[in-house]
């Protein structure tokens, strides 16, 4: 017999967008959504970056055989069509105006995918082009029109308080500071100053976006989606359709990667609106090319200067960061906040002034990308650490060791002190990279580090169900996106309950079944959900102990806890035995619960500091400018690796993503058009690009607030890899490049320029 959560009866009689009820009969379908009456949606996308929509004529498309309906912005009466967890600025489909090339303008709902695709050509849209704003400088210039004429409310899950409201084309402004920066720079012995650029990148999960939505006859909405954050999606969709939370069910199956790009709401309101209008369950499945036009990482221009005193101690950092946020806010307000925090690095910095701006432009909306603002600002920050080491006459590793904060020291006033041995991590990386070896010609080495305020807001709820046959179910709202969290959570439950791993089942990412989880991201799942599962197991055990007093006919103080159960004298009963004896019936179970919130040892944020420590040795072909990785070292400071092999895989995966932004990846616009948003033209790292020699070291000091002292991992290594490569290139050639990626052409030109200066 199927579990209740795996099937449902559907009987469609849903008021459509035109108010006319449409009855389509019923179907039984399973969680893999083999639906007898499922329709397909395909999306017509804007060819213009900024234009008014004068009219949309879909009559010819609607007349095509097999077409059920067409959804446009004119059909949204009765809905609240704008969503956004940070800023509610994103319409589920274009309403009166388009703001980037690729924005959805109309959706055809048809009996099959091919029919829907063919009908798109029969929709006629009349546009009037408007002035296009493609870069930050234009967006912020005096007299530039606002991309959003309407002022929007802040979303319910921003994660922090400051909200600028109406401020021209500024989506978010964050200011971080302490001390007296001007006085520090006035008395500095050395100052490194420069402008750096981190490129526009795409996270490139192997599985593009896909969602299936279904309104039933009672107005209940079920969505199967590839999103990372089901509870955030539920909130946005409930707001759009004015539904109570218990009328929206979001289910996330095992999906193929996310890296931040599947965070928060993406296509779910649109496909839900298609189902609402057509009265059918509807599937929308994007191509890779369409996924490129859905989200990306924020590109960043960073103007930064850093000062040291005569003894080589850091005394000040000042930076202005401009993030190109694209047409809608998405998660860029949080990227803005994190970039402003993370540019300080893991160093003692007595004087700081950081201004960070997320700016609207008419490009693809930017959002989360692995590291969340860390990669954008670690590149300039760690590049300047090497520059200052050279100015001070110091070895770059020793210069860092002199300035790194130690465990227990605070690097941000009011935040959690550092909970890692970063100097020890740096020493280990330098040792594994064998920094004391002479360099071969054309080779360079570097070790870099970062510290990210990770973990997101610590609200996590979990349940475990303990059965009288010894089985255990873990109910977790965290999403499995290939990081292995389902394995780790079952390991924790098996350890706490004293049962074999094969007796634990995890049920996840179904908002109708599992309790609330803030998000799956920020490397938080093992730390927070893992801790919640552990506490839920212990609450279940506490319940069973009360029952055991009756079963053993003995007071609690006479019972001894052993792994998996209790002993009284010569009699040992497992937790399952106690349940069966207590209820006198097979098949019984109890539920243990845990509710984590910002309290106790989770009061201070971040939940933990995620440390990134990476070392590289590169080999340069000076004739072509091509950089190859000879050696790569990663240090995963994770408190405790509950599953070491998966932890190492996460660290290597993060370093590989960082390698992409460092050497290859960049979304390129030619005017309004994205030129390389395809599988063939967007260059990501290949196996052949990985280092010849790879060393991965896990540091397990059990200094985290997670289960058994664990902390999150999986993002740290993405941040310092690009400055590591840039610093190693400088060591090999003396050429300092401040713009990523370090493509062969860019490196070759820098070498020619350096040679020209030398000849001059």
Burial of 531 (0-12, 13-18, 19+ CB in 10 A): buried
Single out the residue of 236, 249, 291 nearest to residue 91, CA to CA: 236
Tokens 């839900």, residue located: 272
| Span 604-612, average pLDDT | 95
Distance between CA atoms of 76 and 70, rounded to whole angstroms?
12
* pLDDT exceeds cutoff 80 at 16: no
| 302: pLDDT strictly greater than 60 | yes
Where do you find CATH 3.90.1170.50 in the chain? 4-132+207-292
pLDDT tier at 86, thresholds 50, 70, 90 = confident
Q: ∠ at Cα 205 (425, 169), nearest 5°?
A: 90
Mean pLDDT of 521-544: 94
In the chain, what percentage of residues exceed pLDDT 70? 93
Q: 710-739 burial string, b = 16+ CB within 10 Å, else e?
A: bbbbbbbbbbbbbbbbbbbbbbbbebbbbb
pLDDT at 25 over 50: no
pLDDT band at 297, cuts 50/70/90? very high
Distance CA 97, CA 105 (A): 9
Block residue for tokens 């969602």: 211
Domain 460-597: which topology?
Aldehyde Oxidoreductase; domain 4 (3.30.365)
Q: How far apart are CA 360 and CA 349, in angstroms?
A: 31
The predicted pLDDT at position 216 comes to 86
Whether residue 180 is predicted with pLDDT greater than 50 in this model: the reply is yes
Dist. CA 423–CA 403, nearest whole Å: 9
Nearest to 325 by CA among 355, 295, 303: 295
What are the pLDDT digits (tens) for 187-221? 999 999 999 999 999 999 888 899 999 988 789 99
Share the mean pLDDT of the chain.
Answer: 92
Of the pLDDT bands very low, low, confident and very high (cuts 50, 70, 90), residue 6 is: very low
Compute the average pLDDT of residues 129-150.
Answer: 95
Q: State the fold for domain 415-454+605-759.
A: Aldehyde Oxidoreductase; domain 4 (3.30.365)
Q: How much of the chain is in helix, strand and coil states, percent to nearest 5?
A: 30, 30, 40
Element (H, E) at 24: strand 21-30
Q: What is the mean pLDDT of residues 577-595?
A: 94
Model confidence band, residue 455 (pLDDT cutoffs 50, 70, 90): confident
Rounded alpha-carbon distances, angstroms, from residue 491 to 158, 452, 464: 32, 27, 13
Least confident of 151-165, 311-325, 620-634, 641-655: 151-165
Per-residue pLDDT at 629:
97
CA distances from 45 to 123, 272, 283, 672 (A): 11, 18, 17, 14
SS (HEC) of 36-49: CCCEEEEEEECCCC
CA distance 547 to 553: 10
Which CATH number is 4-132+207-292 given?
3.90.1170.50
Query: pLDDT > 90: what percent of the chain?
Result: 85
Q: Tell me: the pLDDT tens digits for 29-60?
A: 344 444 578 999 999 999 999 999 999 999 99
Name which of 18-32, 381-395, 606-620, 715-729 the model is least confident about: 18-32
pLDDT of residue 165: 58
pLDDT for 548 equals: 97
User: Residue 30, Cβ neighbours under 10 Å: how many?
Assistant: 11
3-state secondary structure of 353: strand
Q: Quick one: pLDDT at residue 417?
A: 97
CA distances to 264, 303, 458, 476, 528 from 519, in Å:
8, 32, 10, 11, 10
List, as one string, the DSSP characters of 550-582. HHHTS-GGG-EEETTEEEETTEEEEHHHHHHHH
pLDDT of residue 759: 67
Q: How sure is the predictor about 159, in pLDDT bands with cuts at 50, 70 and 90?
A: low
pTM for the whole structure = 0.92
pLDDT digits 0-9 by tens, 664-684: 999 999 999 999 999 899 999
The edge-to-edge listing of strands for the beta sheet with 472-476 is 504-508, 472-476, 460-467, 589-596
Structure tokens at 582: 């207590």
576 CB contacts (<8 Å, ≥6 apart)?
Answer: 466, 467, 468, 469, 470
User: In this predicted model, which residue has the larger pLDDT, 524 or 722?
Assistant: 722
Residue 479 has pLDDT above 80, yes or no: yes
Asked whether residue 92 carries a pLDDT value surpassing 50, the answer given is yes
Q: What is the DSSP string of 451-509?
A: EEEES-S--EEEEEEEETTS-EEEEE----SSS-HHHHHHHHHHHHHT--GGGEEEEES
Quick check: 71 and 273 in contact, CB under 8 A? yes
Q: Say which DSSP state 585 is in.
A: S
> Has residue 26 got a pLDDT over 70?
no
Residue 435 token pair: 């920094």
Structural class in CATH, domain 134-203+295-371 = alpha beta
Q: Would you state the structure tokens that stand for residue 420, as one six-digit string?
A: 């890692």
Question: How far, in Å, CA of 156 to CA of 154, rounded?
Answer: 7
Q: Convert 421-447 to b/e letters by CB count within 10 Å (16 or more is b).
A: bbbbbbbbbbebbebeeeeeeebbbbb
**pLDDT tens across 445-454, in order?**
999 999 999 9
314-369 tens-digit pLDDT: 999 999 999 999 999 999 999 999 999 999 999 999 999 999 999 999 999 999 99
In the chain, list all ranges with CATH 3.30.365.10: 134-203+295-371, 415-454+605-759, 460-597
Q: What span, in angstroms and rounded, lies between the C-alpha atoms of 532 and 106?
A: 43
Contact assessment for residue 226 and residue 262, using Cβ atoms and an 8 Å cutoff = yes
- Span 725-754, pLDDT tens digits: 999 999 999 999 999 999 999 999 999 998
- The DSSP call for residue 269 is H
**CA atoms of 53 and 429, how far apart (whole Å):** 56
Each residue's pLDDT tens digit, 124-136: 999 999 999 999 9
- Confidence band of 157 (pLDDT split at 50, 70, 90): low
Q: What is the pLDDT of residue 20?
A: 31
User: What is the structure's pLDDT at 313?
Assistant: 98
Report which DSSP code applies to 164. -
């Amino acid at each position: 017999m199927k579990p209740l959560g795996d099937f449902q009866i559907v009987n469609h009689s849903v008021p459509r967008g035109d108010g006319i009820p449409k009855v389509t009969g019923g179907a039984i379908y399973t969680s893999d959504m083999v639906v007898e009456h499922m329709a397909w949606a395909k999306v017509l996308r804007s060819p213009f970056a900024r234009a008014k929509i004068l009219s949309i004529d879909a009559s010819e498309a609607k007349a095509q055989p097999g077409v059920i309906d067409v959804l446009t912005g004119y059909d949204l009466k009765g809905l609240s069509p704008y969503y956004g967890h940070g800023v509610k600025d994103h319409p589920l489909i274009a309403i009166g105006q388009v703001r980037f090339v690729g924005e959805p303008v109309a959706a055809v709902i048809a009996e099959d995918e091919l029919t829907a695709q063919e009908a798109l050509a029969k929709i006629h849209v009349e546009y009037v082009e408007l002035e296009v704003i493609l870069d930050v400088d234009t967006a912020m210039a005096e007299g530039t029109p606002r991309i959003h004429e309407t002022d929007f409310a802040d979303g319910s899950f921003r994660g922090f308080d400051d909200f600028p409201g109406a401020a021209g084309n500024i989506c978010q402004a964050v200011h971080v500071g302490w001390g007296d920066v001007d006085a520090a720079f006035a008395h500095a012995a050395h100052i490194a100053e420069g402008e750096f650029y981190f490129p526009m990148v795409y996270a490139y999960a192997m599985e593009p976006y896909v969602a299936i939505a279904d309104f039933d006859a009672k107005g209940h909405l079920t969505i199967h989606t590839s999103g990372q954050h089901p509870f955030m999606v539920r909130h946005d969709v409930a707001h759009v359709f004015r539904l109570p939370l218990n009328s929206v069910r979001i289910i996330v199956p095992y999906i193929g990667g996310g890296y931040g790009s599947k965070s928060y709401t993406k296509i779910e309101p649109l496909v839900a609106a298609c189902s609402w209008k057509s009265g059918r369950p509807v599937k929308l499945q994007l191509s890779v090319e369409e996924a490129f036009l859905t989200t990306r990482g924020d590109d960043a221009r960073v103007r930064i200067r850093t000062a040291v005193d005569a003894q080589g101690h850091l005394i000040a950092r000042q930076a202005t960061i401009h993030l190109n946020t694209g047409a809608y806010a998405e998660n860029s307000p949080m990227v803005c906040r994190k970039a402003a925090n993370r540019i300080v690095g893991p160093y003692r910095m007595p004087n700081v002034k950081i201004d960070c701006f997320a700016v609207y432009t008419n490009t693809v909306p930017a959002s989360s990308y692995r590291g969340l603002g860390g990669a954008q600002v670690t590149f300039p920050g760690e590049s300047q650490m090497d520059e200052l080491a050279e100015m001070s006459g110091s070895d770059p590793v020793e210069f860092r060791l002199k300035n790194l904060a130690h465990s227990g020291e605070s690097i941000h006033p009011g935040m959690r002190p550092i909970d890692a041995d970063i100097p020890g991590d740096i020493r280990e990386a330098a040792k594994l990279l064998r920094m004391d070896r002479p360099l071969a010609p054309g080779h360079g080495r570097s070790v870099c580090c970062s510290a990210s305020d990770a973990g997101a807001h610590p609200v996590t709820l979990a349940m475990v169900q303990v059965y009288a046959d010894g089985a255990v179910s873990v109910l977790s709202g965290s999403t499995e996106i290939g990081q292995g969290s389902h394995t780790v959570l079952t390991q924790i439950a098996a350890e706490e309950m004293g049962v074999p791993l094969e007796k634990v089942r995890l049920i996840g990412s179904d908002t109708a079944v599992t309790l609330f989880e803030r998000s799956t991201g920020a490397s938080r799942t093992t730390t927070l959900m893992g801790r919640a599962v552990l506490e839920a197991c212990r609450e279940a055990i506490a319940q069973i102990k009360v029952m055991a007093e009756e079963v053993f006919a003995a007071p609690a103080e006479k019972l001894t806890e052993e792994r998996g159960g209790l002993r009284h004298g010569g009699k040992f009963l497992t937790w399952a035995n106690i349940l069966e004896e207590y209820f006198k019936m097979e098949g019984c179970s109890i539920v243990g619960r845990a509710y984590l919130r910002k309290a106790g040892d989770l009061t201070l944020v971040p939940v933990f500091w995620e440390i990134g420590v990476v070392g590289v040795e590169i080999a340069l072909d000076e004739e072509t400018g091509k950089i190859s990785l000879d050696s790569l070292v990663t240090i995963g400071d994770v408190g405790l690796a509950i599953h070491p092999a998966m932890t190492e895989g996460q660290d290597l995966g993060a370093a590989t993503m960082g390698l992409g932004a460092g050497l290859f990846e960049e979304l390129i616009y030619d005017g309004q058009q994205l030129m390389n948003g395809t599988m063939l033209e967007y260059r990501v790292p290949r196996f052949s690009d990985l280092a010849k020699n790879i060393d991965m070291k896990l540091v397990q000091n059990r200094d985290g607030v997670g289960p058994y002292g664990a902390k999150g991992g999986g993002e740290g290594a993405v941040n310092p890899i690009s400055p590591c490569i840039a610093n190693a290139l400088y060591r090999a050639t003396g050429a300092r490049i401040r713009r990523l990626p370090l493509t062969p052409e860019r490196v070759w030109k820098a070498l020619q320029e350096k040679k020209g200066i030398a000849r001059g």
